[in-house]
Amino acid sequence: MDLTTHIRAVPDFPKPGILFRDITPLLAEPAAFATAIDRLAEPWQADGIDAVAAVEARGFLFAGPLAVKLGVGIIPVRKPGKLPAETISYRYDLEYGSDTLEMHKGILAQKARVLVVDDVLATGGTAEACVRLIESAGATVAGCSFLVELGGLGGRERLTGQRIESVLHY
């Protein structure tokens, strides 16, 4: 199945000059969504993944079914104040300001092999922060998996040293 036919290009969103790759048509089509999950899982089937880390918010859409397919649990990585128990956090810089990601303290076993999952790899800032957060918990990042990778924005370079698997490339 050609998944690119289920990705809508939206010009000038969220601002003029940006060509936004909208995944909602893929999510709305059961066969396309199932194929996307299969393709996300395939490279990791034999890698001994212990958990899938889901990056808020669209990463949740893919990480849940992917974790089920891999037979592992899911670790939500969220913005501050969204998790109910004690958390650990990682603060990172953005082009204009900073942001923070959190996950529950003690949710990962030491040396657990974790797969970071998100919908899109663009500049890589959020994915890199998620990697650093997982590493700070004593776990190992097995790699990063994305439905869409946008070339030319530096995301892959920002994740140097990490195995990166992307289903679609633009």
Q: What is the mean pLDDT of residues 124-141?
A: 97
Distance CA 19, CA 166 (A): 19
Question: Is 135 noted as a catalytic residue in this protein?
Answer: no
Give the model's pLDDT for residue 97: 83
Q: What is the pTM of this model?
A: 0.95
Residue 56's CB is within 10 A of a number of other CB atoms, namely: 16
Residue 93 has pLDDT above 90, yes or no: no
DSSP sequence for 89-149: EEEEEETTEEEEEEEETT-S-TT-EEEEEEEEESS-HHHHHHHHHHHHTT-EEEEEEEEEE
| Candidates 58, 132, 158, 163; catalytic one | 58
Q: What is the mean pLDDT of residues 7-29?
A: 96
Distance CA 109, CA 114 (A): 10
Q: Residue 10 in contact with residue 4, Cβ under 8 Å?
A: no
The CATH architecture annotation of domain 47-169 reads 3-Layer(aba) Sandwich (3.40)
Q: What percent of the chain has pLDDT over 90?
A: 97
Distance CA 115, CA 131 (A): 9
Question: Is 95 noted as a catalytic residue in this protein?
Answer: yes
Sorting pLDDT into bands at 50, 70 and 90, what band is 94? confident
pLDDT per position as a tens digit, 66-86:
999 999 999 999 999 999 999
> At which residue do the structure tokens 């076993």 appear?
109
Helix (H) or strand (E) holding 88: strand 87-94
